[in-house]
Structure 1
Amino acid sequence: MHPTVFQQVLRAPFFNLPESLRALHGIRGDGVWVGRATVERGRNPLAWLCAVATRLPPSMTDVRTRVEFSADGDREIWRRDFGGRKMVSTLYCRDGLLCERLGLVQFRFALHAWDGTIFWNVDGVRLLGLLPLPAGLFSGVQCREREREGRYEFEVEAKLPLIGRLIRYQGWLEPGGCLEPG
């Protein structure tokens, strides 16, 4: 069986992760996870422009969250729904890094598993898939995934120099729901 994208990137450490992380990142085919999240957007006008370019959701508190996954081993499509606001990204492995296309921007992340947690660290960024941007500008983009009380928990924050926070969203997910909308 072909390894999933996260199995390709993390390799052996993947299999030492907590059960909820292995289940979410082990999806083959289609899956749905549901939970709750809080989203905080930056207030700087340039933060707003960047958030629009990457199709980030607006600020909202404790909203129903649903993520539909489509995974074929070569790539994963994550269709997030934060209280009715959609955010879609495509993830795949290239050269041992996790690549994520989000709107007009493509990120390359080095993933590290430590003490049951996955940390995402920016290794490279491209605009429109062509124009490389200095990775150092994106050192404030970080993601952490872990298990808490048996549930998958996530925290994502994106800050840029001179602009400040673009977005911060955090919450939890668990398997459930169905592939029907809503």
Structure 2
Amino acid sequence: MNNAVLNWFGPDFSALNPLLQRLHTQGAQLNGVVNIRFGSGIAGWIGRRMARKLGAPTKAGKVPFSVEIHHSSEKLTWSRTFANTHTLTSEFYPVRTYQQGGYWIESSGPVKMQLGVSTKGGNWQWLQRSVSILGIPIPALFRPKVYAGKAIVNGLYQFEVKISLPALGFLFGYSGILHEGGEKLIE
């Protein structure tokens, strides 16, 4: 099978949990509930504005969530839908290969992030390297720090996304456990 994830990882693809391997060879639509959280004070205010721009709810709490994952030989595409309302689509383009110290460029509208990958424990953890808006690099002091990862826990797809700023701390995040077609991703 020729897809961007397999081509990028090469022989190291086998380091991923077998269920993450399946997800990234076949694609999927995963559904569940996410818990949306915001920082306090000014950080929460900024986090709510960021959530609004991403199409996420601006109230903390649990909401329905789905993500469609598609592959081609050139890219990986994630379309996330919060509360059955707004869909945020990101395209991930590989640069070099995993063995060559490569990375992915996530493109969501005018924002682009350069992301490395860790496969520690068979999981997939994005490692943010840089962020640019409209092609202008954001200096580390002002750059939102994004933590994002996915793992298989008890046959279910578990993920977390957290966004913070160096001077303010935690702004906004969401996490949850998703399933495919109402079933566990049984090994």
Shorter-chain TM band: 0.7 to 0.9
* 1:36 equivalent among 18, 25, 33: 33
Letter paired with 1:88: T
After TM superposition, list the pairs within 5 Å mapping 1:93-104 onto structure 2: 93-95=94-96, 96-104=102-110
1:106 corresponding residue in structure 2: 112
Provide TM-score, normalisation by structure 1: 0.80
For 1:105 and 1:55, the matched residues in 2 are separated by: 14
Q: Note the alpha carbon deviations across 1:124-180, whole angstroms, 9 max, x for none.
A: 11112x111124654732112111001111011110122332321111222227xxx
Secondary structure at the aligned position of 2:119 is classed as: strand
Letter paired with 2:35: T
Residues 176 and 63 of structure 1: is their aligned pair in 2 closer, same or farther, counting only changes over 3 Å? same
Gaps of 5+ in 2: 97-101, 183-187
2:89 corresponding residue in structure 1: 88
After TM superposition, list the pairs within 5 Å mapping 1:11-50 onto structure 2: 11-27=10-26, 31-43=28-40, 44=42, 45-50=45-50
2:76 corresponding residue in structure 1: 76
Letter paired with 2:10: R
Richer in strand (by share):
1
For 1:134 and 1:147, the matched residues in 2 are separated by: 34
Divergent runs of 4+, >6 A: none
Moved more, 117-126 or 80-89: 80-89
CA drift at 1:8:
3.6
2:178 corresponding residue in structure 1: 173
Gaps of 5+ in 1: 178-182
Letter paired with 1:97: Y
For 2:179 and 2:150, the matched residues in 1 are separated by: 13
2:99 corresponding residue in structure 1: none
For 1:23 and 1:58, the matched residues in 2 are separated by: 33
Instruction: Please give the root-mean-square deviation of Cα atoms over the aligned residues, in Å.
Output: 2.4
% identical equivalent positions: 25
Provide TM-score, normalisation by structure 2: 0.78
For 2:36 and 2:114, the matched residues in 1 are separated by: 23
Establish whether residue 147 from structure 1 lines up as the match of residue 146 from structure 2. Answer: no
Secondary structure at the aligned position of 2:20 is classed as: helix
